[in-house]
Structure 1
Amino acid sequence: MKTKALLIAICLLTLSLHSPVRAQFPTMGGSAQPKALPGTAGDQSPKGTAKITGSVLDSTQSNANPAKAVEFASIALYNTATGKAIDGTVADEKGKFTLTKLVAGNYRILVSFVGFRNKTIDNLTLANGQSLDLGTIKLASSIKTLEEVTVVGQAAMIEEKVDRLVYNAEKDITAKGGDATDILRKVPLLTVDLDGNVSLRGSSNIRVLINNKPSTIVASSVADALKQIPADQIKTVEVITSPSAKYDAEGSGGIINIITKKNSLQGLNLNVDSGVGNRGSLLSLNGNYRKGKAGFTVGGFGRAMYNTITKTNLDQTSQVNGITTLTRQAGDGHSSGLFGQYNLGFDYDLAKNQSLTAGVRYGVRNMLSQQDLVTQLFTNGTPGLTAYRNVDAKNLSGTVDANIDYLHTFKPQQEWSISTLYSRNDLTNNFDADLLNGANELTGRQRNLNKNVNQEFTLQTDYQTPIKKNQLLEFGAKGIIRQVNSNYQYQLAGPSGAFTTEANGTLGELLYHQNIAAGYSSYTYTTKNRYTFKGGLRYEHTFIDASTREGGTLGIGDYGVLVPSVNASKTVKGTTFKLGFNRRIQRPGLQQLNPNFNAANPQNITVGNPTLRPELTNNFELGLSKTIKKTFINATFFGRVTNNAITQISQPSDTLPGAIVTIYQNIGRQHTYGTNIFANVAATSKISIGLFLNTFYTTLTGQAIGTDGVSATLTNSGINLSGGTFASAQFRNGWGAQAFGFMQGSSVQLQGRQGGFGFYTVGVKKEFANKKASLGLAAENFLSNRYHIHTVLNSAQFSQVNDAYLYNRGVRLTFTVKIGKMTMDAPRKKAKSVNNDDVKSDGNGQTQSGGTPAGGGTPR
């Protein structure tokens, strides 16, 4: 009944938005516009028999390249005598426009569009029945604003917008042959460890979108999802630190939106990217075809990882029932993986103001790892037997995302959209372990089988309309139907014979239904003094029905949350100030919920908690940015207060001597305060250098079991530091070079500190045949053979010291070739895509600036 009610509510709102009231004429490019369109309520303009026609073209085209139409250019008609606007229209996809039913009189016309200079045509006289053809109206490109905010001669690597920071990854020449993890390491505000776990300002509670779309693969593991995205297919990475009410309320740390390379070209195009290195290889094919109103895209890539070696040393002490157990463990292992992603897309212009987009994407990940463990236990100082354990683990997934989206543009900035998405992820996380004695004889076997299926269907509708020339109203609704199913078995066997779960094993299942209904409204207002205010309110209600095979219904209640957001900005003498506040919700993700008892290493066990509740975070942000000659500086001060924070808690096992069990819990409260500083220097038109520093102070408070077996309060606090630098240079004859370095200090945990790490890379590239082909060479962490991560955790009942050694010295050679001839087409506004960014990851895993309201952004 909850699901049916949810769908009925969304459909009713969709129908109500299908016939929107035509609002006042929108602002384009900041110029004056007419007050109202004819035909709207209150319009008393007389009707005549005259008409005006014409076409709007881009004046920047050369004789060799004929001028292109300016689609959706705004045409406003003013009465010369009164100075009032009496009519208006929008050009079609060919730049043509017509104003009809005009009365005789004297007029002037204002033509405008974003990115072009306004043009006024004066002294127009119309007689009854006259048809006036204005012919071709050419608009000049507005380039001065761009020159003020970009590096001379090349696009800036880092750009700052009102609510986000944008990293232009397509300029990264060291990206060839890597994946999205390699790109995100270089984005200011982000931290990516050597396993691919991502955090924003010290918080791993973030949402990762791909082309403004969610995916169930991200819900299971962000780190694994990033490995499926080839780095050289990423155009930009957007770090949204202060999301508006239009975005899903999830992501207490913020939102990361990865935009892959797209175009609006006419013709046929095929790109071939390949790379080979000592630790990984890549082959990618991406093609697109567009003719007239229809466009098709097809793509596929495969990536192999190999020669990934790890070494670990673990010392941990636990105290249970007066017995002290010391565990000493050494592990040697390696891993390999095959990743692939294949996509097919289609878009079609139903009319000049309507478009339809559809797509399907399949992603596959096969990650295999092997580890040999040697473990010795000491009980009250007395050494016990030494155990040998060889473990083979499989982490496999197959993901399907399918979407159909529709967009209807009534006037510029006045539009209605409806979006749908079906997403499914089949995830397998198994291991097999052989138990051996000191003579290398097999004494027993263990197996863990864990099959997970995550499915969700989403329906979303959004509407936006301008109010006067300096205000924008947005509202919409969204429904998500989500189902998670996890089956798990823990099996035992002797040196030979079949496995069994009956005597000493476990058999379990988690069924988790989560339906979400959401609605939002957002309002933007810009004053004459260039103050911009944007406020919004979003409400989300979550319906949960969860059960396990062993425990039956879990009794998790439904809950609702009201999410306000406020953003303001002002530019004073070249310095831009931004102030923001928002509240976010963080729902537990699949790995936090999964009750599977993962004992691949029986001395260090992890298990999920299906009874987790969501966490709530209040975020505060104050930022300022300024360009001083050739240097761009950005500094942001932030605060974050989280209640019901989801984190990992470790404690000794009651049944396995010396073992530490880690489980996810709502620990209580977390406070974080800090600053991010970034500077970019354009040394010359071809050379740029960047520096960034992140520092914040964290306090965590939670509950853990004390020495007397009673729950006790834990508190830990400390400073977290990270920073890095990058440099890029362009030379003659198609040569380029780039370098990057990053250091992450140790980070505060509730029960200790996790070790820090470093990463650096350099690369060179040579382009050939008018940029139709390129050859590149990149090397990373080449000065040392391995990197050491030292982590210390402790509580009243245990202490743990973990040393991990990662061998990630790498070099790769890349080659790219572009086939086909394309011609640039005028940009089309495509249907928006739905976004689900409401689920917490396990940690492993456009608003305009310049004072005008943002329109046409992708709904969330």
Structure 2
Amino acid sequence: MKRNGLLLILTVLFTTLQQPANAQFPVMGGATPSKALPGTAGDQSPKGSGKITGSILDSTQAKPVEFASIALINKATGKTVDGTVADEKGKFSLTKLVAGQYTVLVSFVGFRNKTLENVTLTNGQSLELGVIKLSANVKTLEEVTVTGQAALIEEKVDRLVYNADKDIAAKGGDATDILRKVPLLTVDLDGNVSLRGSQNIRVLINNKPSTIVASSVADALKQIPADQIKTVEVITSPSAKYDAEGSGGIINIITKKNSLQGLNLNVDSGVGNRGSQLSLNGNYRKGKTGFTLGGFGRAMYNTITRTQLDQTSEINNVSTLTRQTGDGRSSGLFGQYNLGFDYDLAKNQSITAGVRYGVRNFVSQQDLVTQLFTDGTPGSSNKRNVDAKNLSGTIDMNVDYLHTFKPQQEWSISTLYSRNDLTNNFDADLLSNSDVLTGRQRNVNKNLNQEFTLQTDYQTPIKKNQLIEFGGKAIFRQVNSEYRYLIAGPSGNFITENNGTLGELLYHQNIAAGYTSYTYTTKQRYTFKGGLRYEHTFIDASTREGGTLGVADYGVLVPSVNASKTIKGTTVKLGFNRRIQRPGLQQLNPNFNAANPQVITQGNPSLRPELTNNMELGLSKTIKKTFINATFFGRVTNNAITQVSQPSDSLPGAIVTTFQNIGRQHAYGANIFSNVAVTSKINIGLFLNAFYTSLTGQAMSREGVSTTMKNTGVNVSGGTFASAQFKNGWGAQAFGFMSGSQVQLQGRQGGFGFYTVGIKKDFNNKKGSVGFAAENFLSNRFNIHSVLNSPMFSQVNDVYLYNRGVRLTFSYKIGKMSMDAPRRKAKSVNNDDVKSDGNGQTQGGGTPGGQSRQ
């Protein structure tokens, strides 16, 4: 796109201000959606010059109540003369009112109605009602308390929200266990996450990025305890305010926080046959100052896999068949520790600071037995015992400032420094068929990913029904990777292989971005919002061996538009956005990883970004106690980044997999979700994801000439969950998920299944709880069968997982807290701009999830 041709185009996002029941799932307490307010058509009422404003707050959670209903009732006649609903920040405004005495009625599903009597309004007066607090809908019936509960899943204009704190089976697990249950998402058994079939997503933690997520989403999720997650937001159509990165969308994990006065300490622990965990989290608040301190540690063990690989390759008219079996074991220690501070500088100003350190020590062993056949004749055979270490330490530090001038007018400055030191090494012992040590190999690969971000945002209302937002952002990122191979005999010291020197990648990536967004609300309750974002990326990349790589700078203009409107009880949502996906650390890393010399991986530092256009149409409706949502989407990606495999020129029978910009990828499909409140105590959900995909790219032919490849097919996944609440603090939950095989450029990656059940008992007035959960307990193992092929090779890979699991959990809360007034927190940096390849596992290397990425 020519720079001189760039035009500032404000497209429109279209949002509804509709009744809350039409925007949420039925609550577990059995509440049904409220009817539309009578008299809300302001055009039918006498016009005046008065105005009433205010905001709605949840008295328990100290957070805004979105889309609460406000009715204005004439005190003399008892009739409703006007009405509205609160916005996403809980704020509302009634205008053009005549003078008189009124009653204000505030209502929302799951809360008690709030009535404000004797509200007197004079001509031309702007009456501010302040903060109106709603309390939970609690009824006492002969010592039995029935409490209205938040829905397990909520739908909003641009995202789906999964309330993870309602998940009782996740105690003792990590974020992977939570994300498996979120509609629209698919999480494989390695923890690699995809959204509508695309792994090109951005994962945030409390609206903040982290360099560990840029390196590996799967590893990052293992460091987040499940019982510290409050909600998971799946943002399918991000606005211009978000970074342009994440062609599939954005996942935002919100951890539990509070704004209470006093001191408290939460202790959570769990032990099982495949993992154990312990976490301590404390909060202290006194007046304007608050502190948080927390630590979490988790151990994984008894993780066993078995693999069987058959692959055929052809080089120079010589066919080589590889048959390989492997037995693998893995263990890991994961931890995360954080310290936070916030302070109210003034009534309308606040500052927030924090530091978080994450550690990962993941170790795996694999014993491989390989037999080669050349043109059908048995050839060499060997044994190989590999010890691999995947270690990292990550630190994130942020300072954020927020200044609120008046409702909806605010200015913020945010900073973030993030650093991830990653070590990915392996040692291999080479054995003869009689188990005699014949040699040793070592691959040393040290990586550093660090970045500094500076961001500022400003928003202000224009008149009463318009809002404008704009801001700027700068990211300074540096990636270093040093790598080398060492060899040794059965004894003695390691030496550099082939007398070679160290290899190194130095990759500087700086990003400058600016955005603007405009919102306009009509009298008919249509809200139009459009945004435009421009990002320019400056790259300086080189390797020690090859010098400057010549990766050019590039700019991208990113429009976004969303729309929603409720028509006769059915909510219709439309969305369009353009997204960019930059390559991640492991995709750029040129280290030649031959832990399994028959299945080799190598990054590509010359990768270009991919650009995706996303379109979606959503329909949702509540029918009695059943909520149904169906979303139809289309995605077209140019320059798509995916894994491409081909035979090695130097290693007989070996397949080398790297990342390439393959060309174009199309995906068209639907997500269907249904939630049923069977009774006030039993809730059941069903979800189905299905899409057709088409991939087109380049691969080598038998003649050594690049040829066009195309692969198409349908991907299907789905699942169900059920939860129940009983007397005396007892609860139970069950979940099951199944994913079919996934279409890749050169074949299909095998499907997988996962299921779990759990029970929990609360005691001591919910200060403590004990729980038990079991997963995959009906079968001894699960087989993931993957098939890849091209004109020059074919590969059949079977991975057998032994993942039965049980765990016992315990939690207890110490301390006493009192409710504080709600406070506005400083906003945080939100980097959504780097693609991750999951956990970087290799094809046939002993674990699933190492096939081509979509």
Question: Under a length normalisation based on structure 1, what TM-score does the superposition of the two structures give?
Answer: 0.83
User: Against the structure 1 CA distance between its residues 112 and 830, is the aligned structure 2 distance closer, same or farther, given a 3 Å change threshold?
Assistant: farther
1:759 is aligned to 2:754: yes
Cα distance, 1:122 vs structure 2:
2.4
Residues 1:678 and 2:678 aligned together: no
Q: What is the alpha-carbon distance in structure 1 between the residues aligned to residue 551 and residue 448 of structure 2? A: 21
Could you tell me which residue of structure 2 aligns to residue 662 of structure 1?
A: 657
Counterpart of 2:134 in 1: which secondary structure?
coil
| 1:432 maps onto 2:450 in alignment | no
**Alignment-derived partner of residue 179 in structure 2:** 184
SS at match of 1:225: helix
Report the CA distance between 1:507 and its aligned residue: 2.5
Q: Which residue of 1 aligns with 2:469?
A: 474
Question: Does 2:811 match 1:821?
Answer: no
Change (3 A) 1:502 1:387: closer
CA, structure 1 residues 345+324, in 2 after alignment: closer, same or farther (shift >3 Å)?
Answer: same
Using a 3 Å threshold, how does the CA distance of structure 1 residues 682 and 381 change in structure 2: closer, same or farther? same
| CA RMSD of superposed structures (Å) | 3.0
Alignment of 1:577-726 (within 5 A): 577-726=572-721
- Distance change >3 Å, CA 762–CA 123, structure 1 → 2: closer
Q: For the Cα contact (< 8 Å) 1:361–1:401, is it kept in 2?
A: yes
Structure 2 residues not aligned, in runs of 5+ = 1-19, 21-36, 41-52, 66-98, 109-113, 138-145, 841-854
Q: In the aligned structure 1, how far is the partner of 2:455 from the partner of 2:133?
A: 38
Partner residue in 1 for 2:239: 244
User: Counterparts of 1:207-356 in structure 2 under 5 Å?
Assistant: 207-356=202-351
Other-structure match for 1:501: 496
Contact 1:480–1:517 (Cα < 8 Å) also in 2: yes
Cα distance, 1:69 vs structure 2: 14
Q: Distance in 2 between matches of 1:747 and 1:180?
A: 23
Give, in angstroms, the shift of residue 493 of structure 1: 1.2
Partner of 2:156: 161
User: Residue 558 and residue 573 in structure 1: after superposition, are their counterparts in 2 closer, same or farther (change >3 A)?
Assistant: same
Residue of structure 2 in register with 1:556 after alignment: 551
Distance in 2 separating the partners of 1:497 and 1:553: 37
Q: What secondary structure, in the 3-state scheme, does the structure 2 residue paired with 1:503 have?
A: helix
Task: Name the amino acid aligned to 2:254.
Answer: I
List alignment gaps of at least 5 residues for structure 1: 1-28, 33-54, 71-105, 127-131, 145-150, 846-860
Match of 1:485 among 460, 480, 486: 480
Residue from 823, 826, 831 that aligns with 1:831: 826
Determine the structure 1 residue equivalent to 2:32. Answer: none
* CA separation of 1:142 and 1:626: change in aligned 2, threshold 3 A: farther
The structure 2 residue matched to 1:546, chosen from 526, 532, 541, is 541
Contact 2:485 2:497 in 1 (8 A): no
Aligned counterpart, 1:97: none
Cα deviation, residue 497, structure 1: 1.4
- How does 1:844-855 map onto structure 2 within 5 Å? 844=839
Is 1:206 aligned to 2:204, yes or no?
Answer: no
Tell me, yes or no, if the aligned pair for 1:180 and 1:231 is still in contact at 8 Å: yes
Change (3 A) 1:263 1:801: same
Deviation at 1:505, TM superposition (A): 5.2
Question: 2: distance between equivalents of 1:152 and 1:569?
Answer: 31
Contact 2:57–2:64 at 8 Å: present in 1 too? no
Aligned letter for 1:727?
Answer: A
Give a deviation string over 1:744-794, Cα, whole Å, max 9, x none.
Answer: 000000000000000000000000000010000000000011110000000
2:440 to 445, 448, 460: 445
Change (3 A) 1:390 1:472: same
Amino acid at match of 1:632: F
1:332 and 1:371 in contact (8 A); partners too: yes
1:373 corresponding residue in structure 2: 368
User: In the alignment, what sits opposite 1:37?
Assistant: none
Q: Would you say 1:728 and 2:723 are equivalent positions?
A: yes
Kindly provide the CA deviation profile for residues 700-732 of structure 1, in whole angstroms up to 9, marking residues without a partner as x: 000010010000000000000000000000000
Deviation at 1:502, TM superposition (A): 4.9
Tell me the secondary structure at the aligned position of residue 297 of structure 1. Answer: strand
Structure 1, residues 265-305: CA drift from partner, whole Å, max 9, x if none?
Answer: 11001000000000000000000000110000000010000
Q: Offset at 1:438?
A: 1.2
Q: Is the 8 A contact 1:636 1:675 kept in 2?
A: yes
The 3 A distance-change label for structure 1 pair 112 and 558 is farther
The one-letter code sitting in structure 2 at the alignment partner of 1:425 is: N
Query: Is contact 1:492–1:505 with CA below 8 Å preserved after alignment?
Result: no
In the TM superposition, what whole-angstrom CA distance separates every residue of 1:389-410 from its partner, at most 9, and x where no partner exists?
0000000000000000000000
* CA-CA distance at 1:136 after TM superposition: 10
Task: Specify whether residues 633 and 60 from structure 1 end up closer, same or farther in structure 2 by C-alpha distance, changes over 3 A only.
Answer: closer
Structure 1 equivalent of residue 568 of structure 2: 573
Taking a change above 3 Å as real, the CA distance of residues 59 and 437 of structure 1, as seen in their structure-2 partners, is closer
One-letter amino acid of the counterpart of residue 332, structure 1: D
Say if 1:109 and 1:424 are closer, same or farther in 2 by CA, change over 3 A: farther
Tell me the SS of whatever aligns to 1:733.
Answer: helix
Task: Name the residue aligned to 1:523.
Answer: 518
Measured against aligned partners, the alpha-carbon deviations of 1:417-470 in whole angstroms (never above 9, x if no partner) come to 000000000000000000000111110110000000001000000001112222
State the alpha-carbon separation in 2 of the partners of residues 137 and 665 from structure 1.
Answer: 57
Choose which of 411, 416, 420 in structure 2 pairs with 1:421. Answer: 416
Residue by residue over 1:364-389, the C-alpha shift from the partner in whole angstroms, topping out at 9 and shown as x without a partner, is 00000000000000000010121000
Shift of the 555–138 alpha-carbon distance from structure 1 to 2, 3 Å rule, reads closer
TM-aligned CA distance change 1:662 to 1:239, over 3 Å: same
Provide the rounded CA distance (Å) in 1 between the counterparts of 2:662 and 2:130: 64
Could you tell me how far apart the structure 2 residues matched to 1:136 and 1:464 are?
23
Number of residue-to-residue matches in the alignment: 749
Alignment partner, residue 141 of structure 1: 134
Query: Cα offset for 1:812?
Result: 0.1
Greater shift in the superposed pair: 524-533 or 715-724: 524-533
What TM-score, normalized to structure 2? 0.84
Letter in 2 for 1:643: N
Q: Deviations over 1:40-70 (max 9, x none)?
A: xxxxxxxxxxxxxxx9999998xxx9x9999
1:388-427 matches, cutoff 5 A = 388-427=383-422
Q: 3-state SS of the aligned residue for 2:198?
A: coil
* Offset, 1:843: 3.0
1:117–1:139 contact (8 Å) kept in structure 2: no
1:432, 1:59 → 2: CA distance? 58
User: Equivalent residue for 1:49?
Assistant: none
In 2, distance between residues paired with 1:541 and 1:172? 41
- Alignment partner, residue 122 of structure 1: 120
Question: Residues 532 and 844 from structure 1, CA distance in 2 versus in 1: closer, same or farther, beyond 3 angstroms?
Answer: farther
- Cα 1:124–1:620 shift into 2, 3 Å: closer
Counterpart amino acid of residue 456 in structure 1: E
1:113 shift after superposition = 10
Checking the alignment, whether the CA contact within 8 Å between 2:136 and 2:148 is kept in structure 1 is no
Tell me the CA shift for residue 569 of structure 1. Answer: 0.7
SS at 2:719 equivalent:
strand
Q: In the alignment, is residue 193 of structure 1 matched against residue 191 of structure 2?
A: no
CA separation of 1:541 and 1:434: change in aligned 2, threshold 3 A = same
Can you list the C-alpha shifts for 1:775-816, whole angstroms capped at 9, x where unaligned? 000000000111100000000000000000111100000000
CA spacing shift, 1:612–1:56, aligned 2, 3 Å: closer
* Structure 2 letter corresponding to 1:248: D
